[in-house]
Amino acid sequence: MFKVFLVTGGAGFIGSALVRHLIADTDVTVVNVDKLTYAANLTSLADAGDSERHIFCHADVADRQKMRDIFAQYRPEAVLHLAAESHVDRSIDGPRDFIDTNIVGTYTLLEVAREYWNRLDAETHNRFRFHHVSTDEVYGSLGQTGFFTETTPYSPNSPYSASKAASDHLVRAWRETYGLPTVISNCSNNYGPYQHPEKLIPLVIHKVLEGEPIPVYGKGDNVRDWLYVEDHVQALLMIATRGKPGEVYNVGGENEKQNIEVVRAICSILDELKPGKGSHADLITFVEDRPGHDRRYAIDASKISAELGWQPAESFASGLRKTVSWYLDNQDWCRTAMKNYQGQRLGLKAAP
């Protein structure tokens, strides 16, 4: 195991789950680089934030000099690059930040990592890894059947997925051209505690608790493949520590659900835990579809399973129940997260 990890985006949803795990369950030191955008929340780090092994650096990954200083000062042995603009609807309304962070930020980090890696002593040089954390959305949209594999051609449809696809290509090029020991993972939809309420599952919980209409895009029949965030964290660590340089690993939960099924499942858990007058499902409202809405995502995770022995531990039913309960118990966290976002519809500015 590496002794010092540089994690970018460690104040976000998945990054904070990774940092909490690294601090609680390993003895590695975590250098957590985060710009603290609207999506970040330092309280998501919980006790990990106060650990002596957690070093927080408030910085933009696109700031080359700052990144050079951080690498020089803390000497990471591996990079887990999660920092990104992550919300599809926001990318429709304003793609600029997605270009700056996801493309230029990744480019900057690759260059700084390459310069640093070239000067490492032989042993550290050989062990160094740059793990780029990406998404299944780069593959585009599936029809009724089939799965995304590591060789599915890229076909991104939103500004978000196009920016992630561009960053994946940069990472690949830095491996092929400069030999930087990179690995890429492409994962399906994550859910769990500390996810920003702009995303479907926490948004539905919020709407139910407020007694407001639950917005379901289109007919609610788009399909996503849901993975509990802690299962993703386990996969990330396997890939970062045991993945083969130059390889790509798909990560997914084998949990395909139509959006409407997910929304109804949340409503029925809340009918039990927070009963109202009728069923919360009465709040479901079908609204204008997301422009360019990908129909179906589904991951074939057989490579990571066969080569690294990864399997998700959480079932969707148990993970969703845990998640809903967590949101009910952590309304203070939600209020902080919602300071910059009050649950309004995003992503409709594509119309002329």
Shortest Cβ distance from residue 266 to ligand NAD (Å)? 16
136: left (phi over 0), alpha (psi -120 to 50) or beta: alpha
Round to whole Å and give the CA distance between 297 and 256.
8
Please give the Cα distance from 150 to 185 (Å, whole number).
9
CA 288, distance to chain mean position in Å, is 25
Please give the residue whose beta carbon sits closest to ligand DAU in the complex.
135
CA distance linking residue 144 with residue 130, whole number of Å: 35
61 binds ligand NAD (CB under 6 A): yes
Which residue in 187, 162, 142 sits closest to 295, CA to CA? 142
Query: Contact 55/5 with Cβ under 8 angstroms?
Result: no
**Binding partner selected for residue 163 from ligand DAU, ligand NAD, none, CB under the kind-specific 5 to 8 Å limit:** none
Structure-block tokens of residue 206: 């919020």
182 binds, among ligand NAD, ligand DAU, none (CB under 5 to 8 A by kind): none
Check residue 67 for interaction with ligand NAD (CB under 6 A). no
Least CB distance from residue 75 to ligand NAD, whole Å?
20
Read off the tokens for 242: 């045991």
79 in contact with ligand NAD (CB under 6 A): no
What would the x/- binding string for ligand NAD be over residues 193 to 232, using CB under 6 A? ---x------------------------------------
Residue at shortest CB range from ligand NAD: 12
Q: Report if residue 49 touches ligand NAD, rule: CB under 6 A.
A: no
Q: Least CB distance from residue 259 to ligand DAU, whole Å?
A: 4
- Distance in angstroms (rounded) separating the CA atoms of residues 261 and 200: 12
Choosing among ligand NAD, ligand DAU, none, which partner's interface includes residue 37 (Cβ < 5 to 8 Å by kind)?
ligand NAD
CB 239 within 8 A of CB 307: no
Q: Is 9 in the site for ligand NAD (CB under 6 A)?
A: yes
Which of the choices ligand DAU, ligand NAD, none does residue 130 contact, using the CB cut-off of 5 to 8 A by kind? none
Of 4-12, 145-153, 284-292, 322-330, which segment contacts ligand NAD by CB under 6 A?
4-12
CA distance 199 to 207: 12
Q: Which does 258 bind (CB under 5 to 8 A by kind): ligand NAD, ligand DAU, none?
A: none
Q: Which residues bind ligand DAU (CB under 6 A)?
A: 86-88, 135-137, 188-189, 199-200, 203, 215-217, 222, 224, 259, 290, 297
Q: Which does 45 bind (CB under 5 to 8 A by kind): ligand DAU, ligand NAD, none?
A: none
CA 183/CA 46 separation, integer angstroms: 29
Binding to ligand NAD by residue 62, rule CB under 6 A?
yes
Residue 324 found at the interface with ligand NAD (CB under 6 A): no
C-alpha pair distances (Å), 260 with each of 94, 119, 192, 222, 323: 27, 52, 18, 8, 17
Nearer to ligand DAU, 148 or 310 (CB): 148
Query: Residue written as tokens 């939103």?
Result: 158
Q: What would the DSSP string read from start to end of 101-140? A: IIIIIHHHHHHHHHHHHHTS-HHHHHH-EEEEEEEGGGG-
Q: Residue 165 is which amino acid?
A: A
Catalytic residue numbers?
Answer: 136-137, 160
x/- binding map, residues 104-143, to ligand NAD, per CB under 6 A?
Answer: -x---------------------------x-x--------
Decide which of ligand NAD, ligand DAU, none touches 108; Cβ closer than 5 to 8 Å per partner kind. none
Choose among 250, 234, 255, 225: nearest CA to 315: 255
Q: Please report, as ranges, the residues that interact with ligand NAD according to CB under 6 A.
A: 8-9, 11-15, 33-37, 39-40, 60-62, 82-86, 101, 105, 133, 135, 164, 187, 189-190, 196
